[in-house]
Structure 1
C-alpha cells in the first residue's frame, strides 16, 4: 500500500528523534577518553545514515505538500472574471478529452446561454469570440480585412452612397454590381481544427493548458484561412474565397518587371479605393525586386516599402502573385453558434486531439478594389 503523507510525517518525526538521541550520545561519549574510537565511529556512521534518511524523507514531504498546495490553488474559485473563464475553458477541454458531458455551470461561465439543451453541440460564445477576434500574426490579412462572427450574414456590396456621386457610375464598379448584384451572402464552409494534447499539458495548470490550446487553434485557423484566401486551385465551391479565382474576376495588370506591375496595378485602382491600399506578396519576390532596383547596391534594403513603391507591403508565402488593393473590401466571417468541439484520437499514432469544427466564409466584396500584379510580357499598345 502507498505510504500516506501523514505516515511520512510520523516516520520523519521518529527519525528526527532517533537522530537527536544519537547526536547526544556522541556529544557525551566524545568527551570520555575511556570510550573507544570504534564506538564513536559507529555512532557517527549511524548519525550520518539517519541524517540522510531524514533529508530524503523531508524532500518527499516538501514536494508532496507543494503539489497539494498547487492543486488546491487551481481548484480554488477565483474572483477574477478572466481567471474564471480560463478555469472554465480548461475544464471544458479536460472534460471533452475524457469524452464526458460538459457541465452546465462550465458552459454558463463561458457565456453559453443555451443551458436548456445542455450546450453539448455549441462552443461557448466567449471561446469562439477569443478565437476569431484576437489578432493573429500568422495571417496578416486579419490586420486589414474585416473579421466578423455573425450568423446568416448578408452585406451590401458597397456600404455607402452619395447623391449626385459618380462612384457607382465607374465602369468597372457598375459592371460588377450588375453581374454580381448589390448584396453579398456569406455561406457556411466546414473546417476541422485539431490540437494535439499530451498528458503533461492536459494535467498542467489551467492557464498553460488554455494558452496552449488557444495558440494551436489560432495557428490552425490562420493556416486554413490563408490556404483558401490565396488558393491558386480552389476546391469546388470555394472559388469565391480566393483572390486568384477567375470566378472573383480581379483585374490583372501585366508588366515586364515586378516593380512596374505593382505600381501600375496600384495606380489602376479607382480613387475611391486608394485609401488603405496595400500590397500582399512573398518576401523573396520583394527582396528580388529591391535587388534589381538597387542594381546590387544596398541603399534600398533599409527603406520602408512605402518609400520605394508608395504603398505598405504585407508578406505571406502564399501570395504567389502580388495582390494590390483595399482589403477592407474583403471579409472573413465565422458562424459562432455553429461551432462544435469534440475529442478525436489518431489510433495509428496514438495521439489525442481536442478537435474544433468551425464554419466560416471569405468573401471579396468588390473585386474592383483589387488588382493582380503579373510579371510577364507587357500587352502591346
Structure 2
C-alpha cells in the first residue's frame, strides 16, 4: 500500500473517530444510556484511535525511508557521481550504521552488492567489501601474490588439476605420486573461525567518508593478512595449515621434506635441486630478509656489487620476504591455497576501559598445502661437537 492510499485511509479513520467520539460524549449526557452501551462505545473509539495511530506510524516510516534515500543521494552528489565515490559513501554509511547499532539499509546493500540476498542476513558483509578485503593488493601477507586465494563455501578441489588419458601425469615412483596414493587426490577445506577488531575513534567516525573507509579497510585488511601469515608460518604450535607442521613418524621432522646444507645458501640451492621439474619451474623462496642479507654478506666477501643484484640472480628463484619464515620455504606456491568459507559477518564491540569502539569482522579461514611434495624446507646442518 503506497503513501497516498495510507493518507486516504488515515483521513477516513480520523473522520470516523471524530463522529464516534461525539457519540460517546452524547451518551455520557444521556441518562437513559446503560454502562454496557457506554463501554461498548469506548471500545469502538479505542479501536479507531489505535488504527489512526498505526496508519500515522506507517506513513512516518515511508517518509523517514524516503528522507534517508534523499540524504544518501545528496551525499553521493557531494562526493561525486563516479562508481568509486558512490561505493565509498555506501561503505562509510554501513560502518557508521554498524557502530551506531542501526540496521544497514537495503539501499546501502544494493550499492555494495547482494542487496536482495542480504535481506535475511542482517550482519553479512556485502560482496564488494569482502572482495576488496581479500583481493586488494594493499594487504601485508606476502603469500597473497603467489598463493591461491578463494572465497568458496565447502570448497573441495583436486590436488593435481589434469591427467593424461593413456598414462598417469606423475611417475609412480615420484614423491607426488606417493603422496596422492597416501593422502588421496582431493583436498577439502575446513572452517576456522577468527575475529578481526578495527578500533575507530570518535573523530574518525565523524570525519569524512574517505578517511573513515580508509581506516577501516586498512585495519581489516591488515588483520586478515596477519592471520593468514601467522597460520601459514606458525612454528611454536603449528597446525595442518602451517608449513612447519611436525611429523609424527621417524626420519624427516616435518610433514614437508626438509633439505639440509652446511650453510643456508647451500640448503636453499639443495631444495631447488630436489624439487621435481613440474614444481621447480614455478618455484619461489619465502624467507626472512635478515637471512637473505646474511647470505649476501657471506657471498660478497667485501664485494659490494652483489648487494645490488636481484635475489633471483643470487639464489636462482624469486625471493619473497616474510618475517615469520624462520626456516626458508622453497616451492611452487600455487599449491598453497587460502580459502575463506561462508560469508563474513560484521558487528561492533566497545572497550569499556578505554571507551574506544571497534568494527568487528568474523571470518572463517583455512590454508591448505595441496601438495606437500611441491615444497621443501631449507635447514642448516647442526654442528656436532
Normalized against structure 2, the TM-score is what?
0.75
Kindly indicate whether residue 228 of structure 2 is the aligned counterpart of residue 222 of structure 1: no
Deviation at 1:73, TM superposition (A): 6.2
> Partner residue of 2:291?
285
> Partner residue of 1:151?
153
**How far apart, in 2, do the equivalents of 1:75 and 1:311 lie?**
48
**How far apart, in 2, do the equivalents of 1:135 and 1:359 lie?**
21
Deviation readout 1:179-202 (Å, 9 max, x if unpaired): 211101011111211111111111
Q: CA distance change for structure 1 residues 124 and 327 in 2, over 3 Å: closer, same or farther?
A: same
Report the 3-state secondary structure (helix = DSSP H, G, I; strand = E; otherwise coil) of the residue aligned with 1:285: helix
Deviation readout 1:354-379 (Å, 9 max, x if unpaired): 11111111100000000000011499
Structural RMSD (CA): 2.1
> Partner residue of 2:11?
none
Kindly indicate whether residue 270 of structure 2 is the aligned counterpart of residue 264 of structure 1: yes
Kindly indicate whether residue 107 of structure 2 is the aligned counterpart of residue 105 of structure 1: yes
Deviation readout 1:224-247 (Å, 9 max, x if unpaired): 111100000336xxx111011125
Report the 3-state secondary structure (helix = DSSP H, G, I; strand = E; otherwise coil) of the residue aligned with 2:157: strand
The equivalent position to 2:354 in structure 1, one of 327, 349, 356, is: 349
Report the 3-state secondary structure (helix = DSSP H, G, I; strand = E; otherwise coil) of the residue aligned with 1:300: helix
**Contact 2:76/2:86 (<8 A) preserved:** no
Report the 3-state secondary structure (helix = DSSP H, G, I; strand = E; otherwise coil) of the residue aligned with 1:349: coil
> Partner residue of 1:328?
334
The equivalent position to 1:370 in structure 2, one of 357, 375, 381, is: 375
Q: CA distance change for structure 1 residues 118 and 90 in 2, over 3 Å: closer, same or farther?
A: farther
Kindly indicate whether residue 175 of structure 2 is the aligned counterpart of residue 172 of structure 1: yes
**Contact 2:233/2:244 (<8 A) preserved:** yes
Q: CA distance change for structure 1 residues 136 and 370 in 2, over 3 Å: closer, same or farther?
A: farther
**Contact 2:163/2:169 (<8 A) preserved:** no
> Partner residue of 1:306?
312
- The within-5 A match list for 1:52-201 is 74=75, 76=77, 79-114=81-116, 117-162=119-164, 163-165=166-168, 167-201=170-204
**Contact 2:150/2:338 (<8 A) preserved:** yes
Deviation readout 1:14-66 (Å, 9 max, x if unpaired): xxxxxxxxxxxxxxxxxxxxxxxxxxxxxxxxxxxxxxxxxxxxxxxxxxxxx
Q: CA distance change for structure 1 residues 141 and 109 in 2, over 3 Å: closer, same or farther?
A: same
**Contact 2:338/2:368 (<8 A) preserved:** yes
Deviation readout 1:129-158 (Å, 9 max, x if unpaired): 111111245111001011111111100011
Q: Which stretch shows the higher mean deviation, 187-196 or 104-113?
A: 104-113
**Contact 1:334/1:358 (<8 A) preserved:** yes
**How far apart, in 1, do the equivalents of 2:228 and 2:327 lie?**
17
Kindly indicate whether residue 345 of structure 2 is the aligned counterpart of residue 340 of structure 1: yes
Normalized against structure 1, the TM-score is what?
0.76
> Partner residue of 1:358?
363
> Partner residue of 2:67?
none
**Contact 1:228/1:234 (<8 A) preserved:** no
Report the 3-state secondary structure (helix = DSSP H, G, I; strand = E; otherwise coil) of the residue aligned with 2:348: strand
The equivalent position to 1:203 in structure 2, one of 201, 206, 221, is: 206
Q: CA distance change for structure 1 residues 166 and 184 in 2, over 3 Å: closer, same or farther?
A: closer
**Contact 1:234/1:242 (<8 A) preserved:** no
**How far apart, in 1, do the equivalents of 2:335 and 2:117 lie?**
38
**Contact 1:136/1:222 (<8 A) preserved:** no
> Partner residue of 1:241?
241
Deviation at 1:121, TM superposition (A): 2.6
Deviation at 1:168, TM superposition (A): 4.6
**Contact 2:245/2:255 (<8 A) preserved:** yes
Q: CA distance change for structure 1 residues 203 and 216 in 2, over 3 Å: closer, same or farther?
A: same
Deviation at 1:297, TM superposition (A): 2.7
**How far apart, in 1, do the equivalents of 2:111 and 2:75 lie?**
16
